Chains A and B, each alone.
Chain A
Amino acid sequence: MWVVYTLNGLYFGALLFLISLGLNIILGVMGILNLAHGSLYAIGAFMAAWTIIAVGMKAPAFLIYLCLLSGFVLAGIVGWLMEKSLIRAMYNRTLEYQLLLTFGALLLLEDVIKMIWGGQAYYASAPFDLLGKINILGNVYPNYFLFVMAIAIVAGLLIWIFMAKTRLGIMLRAVSLDREMATGLGLNIGGLSTFAFVLGSALAGLAGALVIPTTPALLGIGMEPLILAFIVVVVGGLGSLKGALVGALLVGLTRSFGIAIFPEIELPLLFLIAGIILVAKPQGLFGR
């Protein structure tokens, strides 16, 4: 069983990683905590579900998996619109305005989703069913979860290479390290911020899309992951990409084994660990 517990932890960690990675990129580069992040996750979920249902079960497999990307894309587009229309106006405003704006966006988007997709649930489990299961040490385990982990690892690696090697990535890191200095160097903060916001939103959308084959798209689907992403961010350190990874794995595994061993205190256990880490290391594990 322990193998499966670990796999479960890794799977959940992988999803959390994608969400909190997006949150942290935005946080690091723009210094904005996007409370509407969960809504972008939800948008990704609904979009993926909708397209998968649209192409139908009979479509070729690769097409169905391509549909998962639609969530990634749409969330990115919505993120772009948000940045251009709202966040853009917030650059030289104080924190409370930025936070409240994203809070407003959260309320707004929840209902926009309802306007577009209505109140009913969307079931789109085709990608989950198509992949079938494998047998790991006598335990049946769905391949789809392994697939999700693979996607997360790939995404993580790409982002890492991007941040470490490419010019754009290095500029982004510079901005997140010291905004003033970066401005001094004459970097195009505006453009970089837009990029970061779109990337972050798209990652949330991707996470949402990846969840869809295992759970129906419902209104308010983005709320619970957002809270967990907050924990990850607090534990890992605000704005730290490494923190997102370690935090996500920590939360994922704690949860998985917590449920197996002390089922009574699943959620409080997470908060407890977060609390202990914060008391010991106020900035989070990898916070600056």
Chain B
Amino acid sequence: MSNEILRRKFFKYMAAAALSALIMVGPFGGGTKAIAQAKRTIPTTPIRIGEVTFLTGAAAAPFGIPGDNTFKMCAEVINKEGGILGRKIELLSKDEAGGVDAQVKLCRKLILDDKVDAVLGYISSASCLAVLPIADELGGLIVAYDCGTQELMEGQKSPFEVPKFKLGFRSKAHLGIDNVGLALFIKKYYPKIKSIAGINQDYAWGRDSWLIFETAMKKLMPQVKVVKTLWPPLGNTDYTAHISALMGAEPDIVHSSLWGGDAVTFTKQAMGMGFFKKIRMAYSRGEPYPQEVGKEFPEGQIICCAGTHYFLYPPHDKSPLNKWFVEEYHKRYGKYPTYPCYHAYQAIYAYKYAVEKAAKLVGGWPSIEEIADAMTGLTFPTPSGTLTIREDHNGIEDVLVGITKLTPKYPFPILDPKRLEVFPASQVNAPVGIRTVDWVNSWK
């Protein structure tokens, strides 16, 4: 049947459709719904929390799944302990894949259509940058739990006014602390090195990590030269060329913010090419990978824990919470928790403590704005010590840096307890209202 005719038929149908639409609507029917104000009593309905992490794609295995596991675990535990002010938590877990436009739509749906009390999640910096503004636009509470970019809460130029988003938060520190921490650690333990190099993924995450690390190194150890910077694409499966290039340049230490499969692939292939015999690596997000790679993961590598998120720190005798968290997680999922797990814990408990704090003030279930006010300046215990969410709505954390060492106790290298460094939050975070890069540049 020719298109011409098809089209003609098609019209008659549309005519009917349009007419009926008109009849249904009538000139001034309908009207858009307003966002309902919460009442001062405590509802009995469960708390609906939208939880968004990568369930598809390369980031699912290293971050998405562990994060998702922890969210489910914590929600279950909280509910077992009677929920938040007696209200049970109901998680709506969604996939973060599908492109940023999909995420914007999804987040809007969660807030407007599914009427969630809060949205927790987001691993990719792109998602965070796209989604957090929605919080203020639609008056919903959004807590970013794992994305790294410092740009998220920073303004165009320092000093900038805070908070950037009234209802948008990040319950962790940004990538600044990892790289500043690494630089401080190197200055302390390897003061005599001559040259460094970098291998970072070729997108904002890698670029920012290297930028901050390089700036910090220039300030701390001006004599050190940068001999090579490589930018492999995300999800690269062959690093041989990069490894050779690095070995050709012969730096003392190579900085890397590689994550997930990329980090493991690079390490495996580097091991195969005798890389570690000559060069020391400094992983800004290395914490999970000794466990992933196993026994043969090289010793003596510098590893930063994206904060102090390490299953052996704080030591279990000092921190029963960490002990419980590690054991509970290991019991459920057969692995020791990695930093995304700790981040997930921080997000969901930040919400819990904020609600409880606000409820004390207002007596009854707090409104979203009141929860946001309570979350600003909130300090609460986490398995990795205490976490503070500052006025810029960004978490600040101490940072733990160590050196890998094989021990009989574990089937993979752990961070040598004798050479463990914790840099306090105040030393690795830029002050409120100052851009991290400007802050590092202002060092004396």
In the complex, A touching B, CB below 8 Å?
yes
Verify if A263 is at the interface (C-beta below 8 Å from B): yes
In the assembled complex, A90 has its CB within 8 A of some CB on chain B: no
Stretch binding the partner chain, chosen from B141-149, B159-167, B227-235, B395-403: B227-235
Tell me if A144 and B272 are in contact (CB < 8 A).
Answer: yes
Whether the Cβ atoms of B241 and A12 lie closer than 8 Å is: yes
Which of these binds chain B: A118-126, A154-162, A184-192?
A: A118-126
* Measured CA separation A33–B178 after assembly (Å): 44
- Once A119-B65, A129-B296 are accepted as A-B contacts, the answer to whether A263 and B229 lie under 8 Å apart by CB is yes
Which residues from chain A contact B233 at a C-beta distance below 8 Å? Answer: 224, 266-267
Q: With a CB–CB cut-off of 8 A, which chain A residues contact B240?
A: 4, 7-8, 11-12, 145, 256
CA A218 to CA B57, docked complex, whole Å: 7
CB distance from B418 to the nearest CB of A (A): 29
Determine the distance from Cα of A266 to Cα of B231 in the docked complex, in whole angstroms: 8
Flag if A15 contacts B238 (CB, 8 Å): yes
List A contacts of B244 (CB < 8 A). 1, 4-5, 8, 139, 256, 260
Interface membership of chain B positions 19-58, coded 1 if the CB is closer than 8 angstroms to chain A and 0 otherwise: 0000000000000000000000000000000000001111
User: By the criterion CB–CB under 8 Å, are B264 and A216 in contact?
Assistant: yes
Q: Which residues of A contact B261 (CB under 8 A)?
A: 121, 215-216, 218, 221
Q: Determine the chain A residues whose CB is within 8 A of the CB of B202 once the complex forms.
A: 266-267
- Contact flags A217-242 to B (C-beta < 8 A → 1, else 0): 01111011100000000000000000
Chain B residue with minimal CB distance to A122? B61
Tally of contacts, chain A with chain B, CB under 8 A: 133
A225, closest chain B residue (CB): B237
0/1 interface trace, chain B 257-269, chain A, CB 8 Å (1 if under): 0001100110011
Min CB distance A249 to B, Å, is 14
Shortest B176–chain A CB gap in Å is 24
Cβ–Cβ contact B248 & A114, under 8 A: no
Given contacts A140-B273, A224-B235, contact A218 B248 (CB under 8 A): no
Complex Cα gap A12–B239 (Å): 10
Closest chain B residue, CB of each to CB of A224:
B235
Known: A129-B296, A142-B273, A215-B264. A120 touches B238 (CB 8 A): no
For B232, B233, B272, B292, the residue with the greatest tally of chain A CB atoms inside 10 Å of its CB is B272
Q: Is B425 an interface residue (CB 8 A)?
A: no
- Give which listed residue, B237, B241, B293, B294, contacts A224 with CB less than 8 A: B237
Cβ A140 vs Cβ B238 within 8 A: no
Residue of B nearest to A111 (CB): B56
Name the B residues within 8 Å of A263 (CB-CB).
228-231, 245
Instruction: Determine whether B236 belongs to the interface, using a CB cutoff of 8 Å to chain A.
Output: yes
Nearest residue (CB) in B for A256 is: B241
Contact (Cβ within 8 A) A218 B241: no
**Is A128 at the interface (CB under 8 A from chain B)?**
yes
Binary interface encoding of chain A residues 103-135 relative to chain B, with 1 for a CB under 8 A from any of its CBs, else 0: 000000011001000011101010011000100
Give complex CA distance A260, B228 in Å.
9
The CA of A223 and the CA of B237, in the complex, are separated in Å by 11
Is A9 in the interface zone, CB < 8 Å from B? yes
Residues in A whose Cβ lies below 8 Å from that of B229: 263
Interface residues of A in 233-288 (CB under 8 A from B): 255-256, 259-260, 263-264, 266-267
B60 touches A219 (CB 8 A): yes
Which residue of B is nearest A7, CB measured? B240
Contacting pair B231 A120 (CB below 8 A):
no
Report Cα–Cα, A102/B75, bound state, in Å.
40
B58 close to A221 (CB less than 8 A) = yes
- On whether the beta carbons of A259 and B230 are closer than 8 Å, the reply is yes
Cβ of A91 within 8 Å of any chain B Cβ, yes or no, is no
* Contact assessment for B241 and A214 in the assembled complex, using a CB-CB cutoff below 8 Å: no
**Nearest CB to that of A216 among chain B residues?**
B261
Residues of A within 8 A of B277 (CB): 140
* Bound Cα distance A141, B274 (Å): 8
Q: Which chain B residues (366-405) contact chain A, with CB distance < 8 Å?
A: none
Between B55, B230, B244, B260, the greatest number of chain A beta carbons within 10 A of the residue's beta carbon is seen for B244
* Bound: A223/B229 CA distance, A: 25
A11 to B237, CA, bound (A): 12
| B247/A1 in contact, CB under 8 A | yes
Which residues in A have their C-beta under 8 angstroms from that of B235?
Answer: 220-221, 223-224
In the complex, which residues of chain B have a beta carbon less than 8 angstroms from the beta carbon of A225? Answer: 237
Query: Closest approach, in angstroms, between the C-beta of A80 and any C-beta of chain B?
Result: 26
A5 to B245 alpha-carbon distance, docked (Å): 8
* B237 cross-chain contacts in A, Cβ below 8 A: 211, 214-215, 221, 224-225
A-contacting residues, B260-289, CB 8 Å: 260-261, 264-265, 268-269, 272-274, 277
Q: Looking at the assembled complex, report how far the CB atom of B314 sits from the nearest CB atom of chain A, in whole angstroms.
A: 28
B307 at the interface (CB under 8 A from A): no
Residue B87 CB within 8 A of the other chain: no
Which of chain A's residues 139-198 have a Cβ closer than 8 Å to chain B?
Answer: 139-142, 144-145
Q: Are A9 and B264 in contact (CB under 8 A)?
A: no
Residues of chain A within 8 A (CB-CB) of B424 are none
A218 & B58 in contact (Cβ 8 Å cutoff): yes
For A145, the chain B residues whose CB sits under 8 A away are 240, 272
Residues of A within 8 A of B292 (CB): 121, 123, 216
Residues of B within 8 A of A266 (CB): 202, 231-233
Query: Known: A119-B64, A259-B242. Is A214-B56 also a contact (CB below 8 A)?
Result: no
Contact with A along B304-340 (1 / 0, CB 8 A): 0000000000000000000000000000000000000
Encode B207-227 as 1/0 by CB contact (under 8 A) with A: 000000000000000000000
A129 contact set on B, CB distance < 8 A: 296
**B230 and chain A: residue at smallest CB distance:** A263
B83 within 8 A of A: no
- Residue from the list A140, A141, A215, A219 in contact with B56, Cβ < 8 A: A219
| Contact among A128, A139, A260 with B241 in the assembled complex (CB-CB below 8 Å) | A260
- Complex Cα–Cα for A42 and B5 (A): 45
| Separation of A67 and B215 alpha carbons in the complex (Å) | 47
The answer to whether the Cβ of B62 comes within 8 Å of any Cβ in the partner chain is yes
Bound together, the chains give a CA A144 to CA B271 distance in angstroms of: 13
Q: Is B241 within 8 A of A220, CB to CB?
A: no
Q: Supply 6 A–B pairs (Cβ within 8 Å), ascending by A.
A: A12-B238, A119-B65, A133-B274, A224-B235, A264-B231, A266-B232
6 more CB-based (< 8 A) A-B contacts, given A4-B273, A259-B241:
A129-B296, A133-B274, A214-B269, A214-B272, A218-B260, A263-B228
A contact set with B: CB distance below 8 Å: 1, 4-5, 7-9, 11-12, 15, 110-111, 114, 119-121, 123, 125, 128-129, 133, 139-142, 144-145, 211, 214-216, 218-221, 223-225, 255-256, 259-260, 263-264, 266-267
